[in-house]
């Protein structure tokens, strides 16, 4: 009986097992609570709202932490129903350091941190939003997630090469600009690491205008970097676009193949 009850709780907390109305209500309850928590964190930063509804927000935070704490303990208790965490001790330890469990812990940790009045950790609660991925069991969200992960996995080598080229260009350009502009603007270009801010803003064509060259050599170098930035930062976009096109094409082809005989549908 205890094992049956544990499995029942496990199935309720993890999407993909049941499709009853109660399962749907549990999913939407947590999804709504997560959304309201994120909204509450945002509203806490508005002074007028916090002065008027501060007590209400604090009470809601206590209620939410109680619910999420109970959920975390239940997940830690029932995780042994998963074959990956079947061992009663080491399985739970392995589950506790998994990504989902760490997000659950960070969602409630700020409330229990001593001396939290001196350290503002409210922004960590935004991580509750990430739990939508686990709680919502709507098929299209999981399909979209799998597509994104497959694209990133298949294009990891190309994206890594782009990042290496970007990093190399940032180091070379920052070094060159430092030696060109440091004499004229030591406060704007104090060092090579300090110049990297200007380089990144220039390569991404954002151009805040807070740091800019005044020498002729610096202006020429900036012009070259701005042109290179347009093409260089467009490469990852093209790589991802081609990856999505390939992934969607392969999925359409799989859908046209019979999963039983392998023939065309």
User: Quick check: is 243 in a domain?
Assistant: yes
Question: What does the pLDDT read at residue 203?
Answer: 83
User: Quick check: is 126 in a domain?
Assistant: yes
CA distances for 94 relative to 75, 90, 196, angstroms = 13, 6, 40
User: Quick check: is 193 in a domain?
Assistant: yes
User: Quick check: is 191 in a domain?
Assistant: yes
Considering the domain architecture, whether residues 90 and 215 belong to the same structural domain is answered as no
Considering the domain architecture, whether residues 119 and 181 belong to the same structural domain is answered as no
Considering the domain architecture, whether residues 122 and 71 belong to the same structural domain is answered as yes
Sequential pLDDT tens for the chain (265 residues): 446 888 888 887 775 555 566 667 777 788 788 888 878 878 888 888 888 998 998 899 889 889 989 989 999 999 998 889 988 899 999 999 987 788 888 778 777 766 555 555 555 555 555 555 444 444 444 566 678 888 888 999 999 998 898 889 899 999 999 999 999 999 989 999 989 998 888 888 787 888 889 999 999 998 998 888 888 878 888 899 999 888 888 877 665 544 445 455 5
Considering the domain architecture, whether residues 98 and 165 belong to the same structural domain is answered as no
Count how many domains the chain has: 2
Considering the domain architecture, whether residues 107 and 177 belong to the same structural domain is answered as no
Token readout for 5 is 């009850």
> For residue 114, what is the DSSP state?
T
User: Quick check: is 234 in a domain?
Assistant: yes
Considering the domain architecture, whether residues 47 and 15 belong to the same structural domain is answered as yes
Count the residues in the chain.
265
The domain that contains 214 carries what CATH number? 1.10.287.70
Please tell me the number of Cα atoms within 13 Å of 147 on its side-chain side: 19
Considering the domain architecture, whether residues 129 and 170 belong to the same structural domain is answered as no
Question: What does the pLDDT read at residue 172?
Answer: 92
Question: What does the pLDDT read at residue 119?
Answer: 54
Strand partners, 257: 264
The domain that contains 10 carries what CATH number? 1.20.120.350
Residue finishing a domain among 137, 170, 204: 137
262 Rama sector, left if φ>0, alpha if ψ -120 to 50, beta otherwise: left
User: Quick check: is 197 in a domain?
Assistant: yes
Considering the domain architecture, whether residues 130 and 8 belong to the same structural domain is answered as yes
Question: What does the pLDDT read at residue 63?
Answer: 92
Question: What does the pLDDT read at residue 113?
Answer: 67
User: Quick check: is 145 in a domain?
Assistant: no
Considering the domain architecture, whether residues 14 and 103 belong to the same structural domain is answered as yes
Q: What angle do CA 192, 193, 195 make, to 5 degrees?
A: 65
Considering the domain architecture, whether residues 19 and 122 belong to the same structural domain is answered as yes
Considering the domain architecture, whether residues 127 and 43 belong to the same structural domain is answered as yes
What residues make up the domain containing 177?
A: 156-251
User: How many Å apart are CA 38 and CA 52, to the nearest integer?
Assistant: 18
Residue finishing a domain among 137, 171, 196: 137
User: How many Å apart are CA 196 and CA 201, to the nearest integer?
Assistant: 8
User: Quick check: is 117 in a domain?
Assistant: yes
Task: Let me know: does 79 contact 90? Beta carbons within 8 Å.
Answer: no
Residue finishing a domain among 81, 109, 137: 137
Task: Let me know: does 143 contact 136? Beta carbons within 8 Å.
Answer: no
Considering the domain architecture, whether residues 72 and 161 belong to the same structural domain is answered as no
């Amino acid at each position: 009986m205890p094992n049956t009850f544990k499995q029942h709780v496990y199935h309720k907390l993890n999407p993909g097992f049941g499709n009853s109305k109660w399962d749907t209500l549990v999913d939407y309850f947590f999804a709504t609570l997560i959304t309201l928590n994120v909204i509450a964190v945002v509203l806490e930063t508005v002074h007028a709202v916090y002065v008027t509804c501060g007590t209400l927000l604090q009470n809601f935070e206590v209620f939410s932490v109680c619910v999420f704490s109970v959920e975390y303990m239940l997940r830690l208790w029932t995780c042994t129903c998963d074959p990956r965490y079947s061992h009663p001790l080491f399985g739970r330890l392995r589950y506790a350091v998994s990504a989902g469990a760490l997000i659950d812990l960070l969602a409630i940790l700020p409330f229990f941190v001593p001396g939290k009045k001196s350290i503002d950790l409210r922004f960590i609660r935004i991580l509750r939003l990430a739990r939508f991925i686990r709680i919502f069991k709507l098929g299209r969200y999981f399909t979209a997630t799998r597509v994104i992960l497959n694209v990133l996995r298949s294009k990891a080598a190309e994206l890594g090469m782009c990042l290496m080229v970007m990093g190399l260009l940032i180091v070379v350009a920052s070094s060159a600009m430092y030696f060109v502009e440091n004499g004229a603007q030591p406060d704007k270009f104090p060092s090579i690491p300090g110049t990297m801010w200007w380089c990144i803003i220039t390569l991404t064509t954002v151009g805040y205008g807070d740091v800019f060259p005044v020498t002729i050599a610096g202006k020429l170098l900036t012009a070259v970097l701005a042109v290179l930035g347009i093409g260089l930062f467009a490469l990852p976009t093209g790589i991802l676009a081609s990856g999505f096109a390939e992934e969607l094409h392969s999925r359409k082809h799989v859908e046209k193949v019979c999963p039983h005989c392998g023939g065309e549908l």
